[in-house]
Amino acid sequence: MPLFPFGTIGFGALALEVTADNVSGSGQDFTQCGIAAASGPNCQVSGGSGSYTFLWTQTGTPAERGPYDIFSDTLQNPFWRKQVCDNDTPKAETWTVTVTDTVTLQEASTAISVLLTWVNLN
């Protein structure tokens, strides 16, 4: 019987894949600006060894009042918040999560859109 019956670590592991959903959040009041928040990117990982680290980074052009604040950039499913205004342009940012398999050192990444909006009820 081979020493590693399920394959050699680093060579026998399944390819690492990551998926995540776009997120959006809004707030409203009788003011031009306020705090909006978004959460729940539903980041899912498959393949690899099962032991992962996560790193979220804002990529591309930040929103007018961005980059948005992220809590925490090393969580699998963080949340974002920022003071935004009803006339901000652009309102969305692109965020990329990079997942690293801590055993095989494979990496995979995917990008999502984070949209924060404010509605002035006046």
44-68, pLDDT tens digit by residue? 999 998 899 999 999 988 999 889 9
Q: Helices H, strands E: what count in the chain?
A: 0, 9
pLDDT for residue 110 is more than 50: yes
Q: Is 41 exposed, middle or buried (0-12, 13-18, 19+ CB in 10 A)?
A: buried
**pLDDT tens column, 19-48:** 999 999 999 999 999 999 999 999 999 999
Report the relative pairing of strands 52-59 and 107-120 from DSSP bridges. unpaired
pTM of the model: 0.86
Residue ranges of domains in the chain, CATH in brackets: 18-120 (2.60.40)
- Radius of gyration over every alpha carbon of the chain, rounded to an integer in angstroms: 19
* Three-point CA angle 106, 115, 69, nearest 5°: 70
Q: Give pLDDT tens digits for 73-103.
A: 999 999 999 999 999 988 999 999 999 999 9
